[in-house]
Amino acid sequence: MKPDTNDKKIVTRFAPSPTGFMHVGGVRTALYAWAFAKKHGGKFILRIEDTDKEREVDGSIEHIMESLKWLGLSWSEGPDIGGPNAPYIQSQRLDTYKKYADILVEKGLAYADPYTQEQLESFRKQAEEEKRPFLYRNHRPENPPTWDGSMPLRLKISEPKTYKWNDAVRGELEAGPEALDDFILVKSDGYPTYNFAHIIDDLYMGVTHIFRADEFISSTPKFLALYEALDITPPVFVTLPPIMSPDGKKKLGKRDGAKDILEYKKEGFLVDAMINFLAFIGWNPGDDREIFDSNEFLEAFDLKGIQRSGGKLNEEKLLWFNKEHLKKMSDSDFKIAVDSFITEDLKKLSTYDERIDKVLPLIKERISVFKDVAEMISSQELHYFFMQTEYNVQELICPEKLRKGIEVGLNDVKDTLRALGDLLTASTEKQAALAQGEYKNIFWDYADQRGRGIVLWALRVALSGREKSADPFTICSVIGTNDALQRIENAIQKISNQQST
RNA sequence: GGCCCUAUCGUCUAACGGUUAGGACACGGCCUUUUCAAGGCUGUAAUCGGAGUUCGAUUCUCCGUAGGGUCACCA
């Protein structure tokens, strides 16, 4: 009944229950288990723990698998692909649990619980009133009925003792007999409890390392008692620190607004950024490196770097990670990604014609996440690339700090713009250069002569109509010489109109 | 309440028992830049408290304190 100790291959698993979506807590556990197995050439198994039919939510399994797939956490055995120890859904493994339950009954290590839930409840209340901890074993029936499956089956802890065990992250842990009680192995509905089922499954599936969060520390003595009863050598326990809600007041949970991991996908976070972020909640490489793609993380990951204390979920840091990973992306990859991210409706906007290809690289260095692209495209922010936009004449005059003490009036701006317009229409030689997008070279001498701030500000506002925008050279090369000229003339006209009123 | 876990800047964290306690996010300043973004430099900011061990404690021990977890026919 012991796992094959000759097989040194590492086997980890992720065993969620299908009660809805996954939030970063669950995914982080999956990530570490996956990374550890992957890194050591082992197996990573996906198993569904659906023994609580009350809490089950339709579609969860698909949702969970989609989440893992998005992040590239691939499993080599699982409910969808099967494997040597199929099935990988606990509700389909009831025979197996029954077999082990019978063994325990035969050995006299498990017995039927004859009490009703109401009776149990009154025992509990009584204990509470007397201010002592409730222990079922104090009420253990002397002659329990034969277990026929209609009653819960409990493990008999005949000698409650202190258990000591080793955790790969926390080191030596121990808990006294108070932590131990006759717990339920099989519920009256015939389904096993987590406490029982996971141990049998891990045995069958050859799991060598159990990754789970620290809320399971207090039930570890129960697990150890059961391993003992079944004469199983326990796997290695790898206890992960809790992830706390952003306010740090409690462990992150669905009830407190923890987000579905696929929400992050919808918002346009990059997979590598997400992995990078998750990896760092509770782990670090021990040096100053921060940016990892999935492969680099795999390379660097180890159990030693896993933290003991909990960390808060910090979405600001996630945004930063995403920005960093965006920087590493090539313009062409960015284009492809944006194209698949933004909706068809957005693509139909007048502000999404072929010029967008030239605008995209500018967007790339100004956003944190893809959803920002959609926002920029649908807002006024980028309209100037596609059409003449409205602005106030006074905005053509550069702010005080750029004038360097020189007085600038609308007349100066007008002269400046005329000169710039002339530059654009000058020699055919220059026209050829402009066709190559050499706007900067054409304008630069004049800007240096007259004062960069004054000239370039006026030009930029004339072209963009905005106080904040891309630089004028880039705008020119996107909109072309003719449009640029038109906008400069419009600006001059605007000034004239202003002056005549 | 019993039991268990945890404790370094606001946040995530680094530091064979000997460091001016380092880095990152966020925040502020400066530089560069026509503006924005990016970039460079830089500033503010931490060892929960108390004993003990030690020549020396962020580090080891104990006691407090605080936070979290757990005490289900949930996982």
| Residues A279, A315 share a domain | yes
Domain hosting residue A487, numbered range: 393-500
The verdict on residue A235 lying in a domain is: no
Dihedral Cα A250, A251, A253, A257, nearest 10 deg? 40
Most confident of A196-205, A336-345, A365-374, A430-439: A196-205
Structural domains of chain A, count: 3
Interval A440-481: pLDDT, tens: 878 888 888 888 888 999 999 999 999 889 999 889 988 888
pLDDT above 60 (res A292): yes
Residue A22 dihedral angles phi and psi, to the nearest 5°: -110, 140
pLDDT above 70 (res A438): yes
Q: Which nucleotides along chain B are within 7 A of a protein C-beta?
A: 1-8, 11-15, 22-26, 33-39, 67-75
CATH number assigned to the domain comprising residue A252: 3.40.50.620
Q: Say how far A6 CA is from B36 C1', in Å.
A: 63
| Residues A356, A300 share a domain | no
Average pLDDT over residues A196-202: 98
| Residues A270, A337 share a domain | no
Instruction: Please report, for residues A12, A120, A144, A196, A227, the alpha-carbon distance to residue A110 in angstroms, rounded to integers and kept in the order given.
Output: 29, 18, 10, 12, 13
**In this complex, which residue's CA is closest to the C1' atom of nucleotide B7?**
A309
Residue A406's pLDDT band, with cuts at 50, 70 and 90, is: confident
The verdict on residue A236 lying in a domain is: no
Three-state secondary structure string covering A10-70:
CEEEECCCCCCCCCHHHHHHHHHHHHHHHHCCCEEEECECCCCCCCCCCCHHHHHHHHHHH
**In this complex, which residue's CA is closest to the C1' atom of nucleotide B10?**
A247
The verdict on residue A368 lying in a domain is: yes
Q: Of A309, A340, A372, at which residue does a domain stop?
A: A372
The verdict on residue A193 lying in a domain is: no
The verdict on residue A402 lying in a domain is: yes
Q: Say how far A47 CA is from B15 C1', in Å.
A: 40
Instruction: Check residue A218 and give its pLDDT.
Output: 93
Instruction: Please report, for residues A2, A40, A210, A244, the alpha-carbon distance to residue A6 in angstroms, rounded to integers and kept in the order given.
Output: 11, 16, 19, 39
**In this complex, which residue's CA is closest to the C1' atom of nucleotide B68?**
A250
Nucleotide nearest to A455 (CA to C1'): B34
Q: Which of A56, A122, A132 is nearest to A89 (CA)?
A: A56
| Residues A432, A363 share a domain | no
Instruction: Check residue A480 and give its pLDDT.
Output: 87
Which range is least confidently modeled, A1-10, A165-174, A238-247, A449-458? A1-10
Residue A4's pLDDT band, with cuts at 50, 70 and 90, is: very low
Dihedral Cα A226, A229, A232, A235, nearest 10 deg? 20
Instruction: Check residue A431 and give its pLDDT.
Output: 66
Average pLDDT over residues A308-328: 94
Instruction: Check residue A437 and give its pLDDT.
Output: 62
Instruction: Check residue A1 and give its pLDDT.
Output: 40
| Residues A366, A413 share a domain | no
The verdict on residue A210 lying in a domain is: no
Q: Say how far A424 CA is from B51 C1', in Å.
A: 81
| ipTM attached to this prediction | 0.95
Other CB atoms within a 10 A radius of the CB of residue A91 amount to 17
The verdict on residue A143 lying in a domain is: no
Residue A6's pLDDT band, with cuts at 50, 70 and 90, is: very low
Quote the CA–CA distance of A8 and A208 in Å, as a whole number: 9
Q: Say how far A293 CA is from B33 C1', in Å.
A: 31
Q: What is the pLDDT of chain A when averaged over all its residues?
A: 91
Specify whether the CB–CB gap between A48 and A89 falls below 8 A.
yes
| Residues A78, A4 share a domain | yes
Nucleotide nearest to A215 (CA to C1'): B69
Nucleotide nearest to A320 (CA to C1'): B25
| Residues A412, A367 share a domain | no
Q: Of A316, A341, A372, at which residue does a domain stop?
A: A372
| Residues A412, A360 share a domain | no
Q: Say how far A240 CA is from B6 C1', in Å.
A: 12
Q: Which structure tokens are listed for A173?
A: 């842990």
Quote the CA–CA distance of A423 and A440 in Å, as a whole number: 11
Average pLDDT over residues A434-440: 69
pLDDT above 60 (res A5): no
Nucleotide nearest to A286 (CA to C1'): B14
Dmax over CA atoms of chain A, in Å, equals 108
| Residues A362, A312 share a domain | no
CATH number assigned to the domain comprising residue A442: 1.10.10.350
Residue A345's pLDDT band, with cuts at 50, 70 and 90, is: confident
Residue A2's pLDDT band, with cuts at 50, 70 and 90, is: very low
Instruction: Check residue A429 and give its pLDDT.
Output: 65
Angle of helix A271-279 versus helix A24-39 axis, rounded to 10: 90
Interval A150-183: pLDDT, tens: 999 999 998 899 999 999 999 999 998 988 999 9
Instruction: Check residue A432 and give its pLDDT.
Output: 64
Residue of A254, A259, A335, A440 marked active site: A254
Most confident of A118-122, A230-234, A405-409, A493-497: A230-234
pLDDT above 50 (res A286): yes
| Residues A490, A405 share a domain | yes
In chain A, pLDDT over 70 holds for what percent of residues?
96
| Residues A411, A434 share a domain | yes
**Which one-letter amino acid corresponds to residue A401?**
K
Most confident of A123-132, A265-274, A368-377: A265-274
Instruction: Please report, for residues A24, A76, A249, A275, A497, the alpha-carbon distance to residue A279 in angstroms, rounded to integers and kept in the order given.
Output: 10, 21, 22, 6, 60
Contacts of A129 (CB under 8 A, 6+ apart): none
Specify whether the CB–CB gap between A413 and A495 falls below 8 A.
yes
- Catalytic residue at A254? yes
| Residues A309, A338 share a domain | no
Instruction: Check residue A436 and give its pLDDT.
Output: 62
Instruction: Check residue A310 and give its pLDDT.
Output: 93
Interval A13-24: pLDDT, tens: 999 999 999 999
The verdict on residue A188 lying in a domain is: no
Using only the alpha carbons of chain A, give its radius of gyration. 33
